Amino acid sequence: MDHGLAALETVVRQRLADAPSGSYTAELLADDELIQRKIMEEAFEVCLELARTPTTHDRVVSEAADLVYHLLVGLVGAGVSFADVVAELDRRRR
C-alpha cells in the first residue's frame, strides 16, 4: 500500500488488539453501529464538499481523509484488509 495507508492500517490493527483506554480508534472498533454511522456521516460530508460551487480543495481533502480513516477502521473491524480492497479493484480493471 502506498501513501501511508499501510502504516495507518497497522496502527488501527494495534488498537483492535490492545484497545488502549482513551483511544478514539479503539472506541470505534468496539462499536459496530458507531463506525457505521461515522462512515455514512463522512461519506455524506465528502459529497457535500464535492457539490459546492466552487469546491474548496482543502475542505475536500479534509473530508476525504476523514472518510478514508473511518472506512479503514470499519474494514479492520470486519477483518478486511485494505490490500483486499485494492486487489478487488485490480481484478475489476482486467
How far apart are the C-alpha atoms of 57 and 70, rounded to whole Å? 20
What sign has the CA pseudo-torsion 80, 82, 88, 91? negative
CA 75/CA 72 separation, integer angstroms: 5
Using 50, 70 and 90 to split pLDDT, how confident is the model at 94? confident
Domains in the chain, CATH or no CATH each: 5-17+24-93 (1.10.287.1080)
pLDDT at 89: 96
| H or E element at residue 85 | helix 82-93
What one-character-per-residue DSSP string does 1-50 give?
--TTHHHHHHHHHHHHHH--TT-HHHHHHT-HHHHHHHHHHHHHHHHHHH
Determine if the peptide bond prior to 54 is cis (ω within 30°): yes
Instruction: Render pLDDT for 27-86 as a digit per residue (tens, 0 to 9).
Output: 999 999 999 999 999 999 999 999 999 999 999 999 999 999 999 999 999 999 999 999
